[in-house]
Amino acid sequence: MELLIMAYALKTACARNIIGVIPYFPYSKQSKMRKRGSIVCKLLASMLAKAGLTHIITMDLHQKEIQGFFSFPVDNLRASPFLLQYIQEEIPNYRNAVIVAKSPDAAKRAQSYAERLRLGLAVIHGEAQCTELDMDDGRHSPPMVKNATVHTGLELPLMMAKEKPPITVVGDVGGRIAIIVDDIIDDVESFVAAAEILKERGAYKIYVMATHGILSAEAPRLIEESSIDEVVVTNTVPHEVQKLQCPKIKTVDISLILSEAIRRIHNGESMAYLFRNITVDD
C-alpha cells in the first residue's frame, strides 16, 4: 500500500516516469489459478499499473510468465551469477558437488546451474515434497452438507486422489557435496526433509542456495537443528534477525546489479548487458 500511495502521489505530481525497484515481488507464487482461487499476482500488477508505475525492476520472479501480467516493461534480473560465484569461491572442493532439485518443478533451474558449473544433477521426487494442503486455505469450500439433494440425472466420473510415489533421489549423491537450489526459501520443512534424504543417500555436506530468503516463523530454528550445513540467500529481503538466530544463514550482496540497472535506465542505456550469460531456464 505504501508503494501504491507513493506512486500515485508521483503520478498526480506529473512525474514523467515512475520506476519501482521491487527486488522480491510479493505474491509471485500465486500466479496461477488453483481450484477457484484468485490470481493475486495479476491483481497486484493491475494495481501497480493503475497507481501510475511505468517500469519495474525486480529479481528472479517465481515464474517468468508473470511479466505478461503487466502493461509496462518489467526487468526481471537474475541472481544466479552471484550465487554461482559464491559456489566457486566459498565452497571448498566444489568440483565434487552435485546440484540438487528438491522437486521436479525446480529441475530446470537446477539444470541451468549444473550446466554452467559443469557438475552433476540430482532430482528428489516423491511424497515428502507435498507440503501444501488443500484444506489449509479453504479450497474445498463450501463444506459438505449432509442430506444434500443431488441431481440424479447428472453422473460425473469419480475423481481419483493423486498419490505421489515413495520419495526417491534420481541421481548419485553418495560421497558428494549436495547443493539444493531454488528461488524462494520460506517454509523450510521441505528443504529439511530433502537434506535428511540426501544424508541417508550418502551426501556428506549439504548447502541450500536461494535468491529470496523469507525464512518466516520457525525457519531459523529448524535450519539450525537440521542436517543442512549452510543456507545461502541474497539480500533481496532483509533477514538480519534470522541470521542472529541461526549462524548457518549466509548472505550474498546483489545491490551491484540493482544499482547498475537503475543507472542504465536513468541514462537510457541498454539493459542487455545485465542479461549476458543467462540461460533460458534460469
**Is 197:234 a contact under the CB 8 Å cutoff?**
no
As a whole number, mean pLDDT of residues 80-105 equals 95
Contact present, 121 and 110 (Cβ < 8 Å): yes
Q: Mind listing the pLDDT tens digit for each residue in 235-256?
A: 999 999 999 999 999 999 999 9
The predicted model gives 98-124 an average pLDDT of 94
How many angstroms separate the CA atoms of 202 and 200, rounded? Answer: 5
Beta strands in 176-248 (DSSP E): 177-185, 205-213, 230-234
pLDDT at 129: 43
Q: Is the pLDDT of residue 69 over 90?
A: yes
| pLDDT at 171 > cutoff 80 | yes
| Arithmetic mean of pLDDT, 203-223 | 95
Residue whose C-alpha is closest to residue 180's, from 270, 268, 261, 114 = 114
Which whole-number Å values give the CA distances from 18 to 24, 26, 59, 72, in the listed order? 18, 19, 18, 11
Residue type, 281: D
Who wins on pLDDT, 277 or 60? 60
CB 58 within 8 A of CB 76: yes
> How far is residue 174's CA from residue 199's CA, in Å, rounded to a whole number?
9
Which three three-digit cell numbers place residue 10? 508521483
Q: What is the spatial distance between Cα 126 and Cα 194, in angstroms, rounded to a whole number?
A: 10
CA dist 272 and 75 (Å) reads 10
Q: Which amino acid is at 190?
A: S
pLDDT in tens, 7-16: 999 999 999 9
**What percentage of the chain has pLDDT greater than the value 70?**
88
Q: Which residues of 216-254 are buried (b: 16+ CB within 10 A; e: fewer)?
A: eeebbebbeebbbbbbbbbbbbebeebbebbebbebbeb
Q: How far apart are CA 151 and CA 49, in angstroms?
A: 45
Q: Give CA–CA dist 206/232, Å, rounded.
A: 11
C-alpha span between 91 and 84 (Å, rounded): 10
The length of the chain in residues reads: 282
Residue type, 175: G
Task: Compute the distance between CA of residue 265 and CA of residue 17 in angstroms, rounded to an integer.
Answer: 11
| pLDDT for residue 131 is more than 50 | no
Q: What is the structure's pLDDT at 226?
A: 95
pLDDT(73) > 70: yes
Whole-model pTM: value is 0.85
